[in-house]
Amino acid sequence: MKTVITFGTFDLFHVGHLNILTRARQLGDRLVVGVSSDALNIHKKGRAPVYDQQDRMHILEELKCVNEVFLEESLEFKSDYIRTFNADLLVMGDDWAGRFDSLSCLCEVMYLPRTPSISTTSVLEIVKRQK
């Protein structure tokens, strides 16, 4: 059985998120998703996500293409998560291209092209402009 692992914030869940998850799932038999914690986002991006970590995890848990969801507490723990979940393949969007190549000693690493023209930031901007 081939296990695929991926990571993300998945705030204001949108079709770009769905596309990478369905493509990742098609590359194996089981998809495990690490959802970045609220604390990790505050630390790295200086603000909390719009949806809190429980809600972001809950949305992912209910998706047909996702088999398991866990909380990503630090960007530096990826090798531990890969080992814990016995992952054969790490998938990330190509905005992260090259960033996780050092993990290729643990599992295969693949960067998939992002879905164009949509992001959490662009959704937030559109909503703000419409106020």
Q: Residue 2 CB, nearest distance to ligand C2G (Å)? A: 19
Phi/psi of residue 25, nearest 5 degrees:
-65, -35
3-state secondary structure of 71: strand
For residues 25-64, which are near ligand C2G according to CB under 6 A?
A: 36
Q: Residue 117 CB, nearest distance to ligand C2G (Å)? A: 7
Among the listed residues 97, 106, 113, 56, the one whose alpha carbon sits nearest the alpha carbon of residue 77: 106
Q: Residue 51 CB, nearest distance to ligand C2G (Å)? A: 11
- Residue in 3, 53, 72, 82 binding ligand C2G, rule: CB under 6 A: 72
3-state secondary structure of 118: coil
Phi/psi of residue 130, nearest 5 degrees:
-85, -5
Contact 118, 93 (CB under 8 A): no
Q: Which is nearer to ligand C2G, 10 or 131 (CB)?
A: 10
- Residue in 89, 93, 107, 109 binding ligand C2G, rule: CB under 6 A: 93
Binding site for ligand C2G (CB under 6 A): 7-11, 16-17, 20, 36, 72, 75, 92-93, 95, 114-115, 118-119
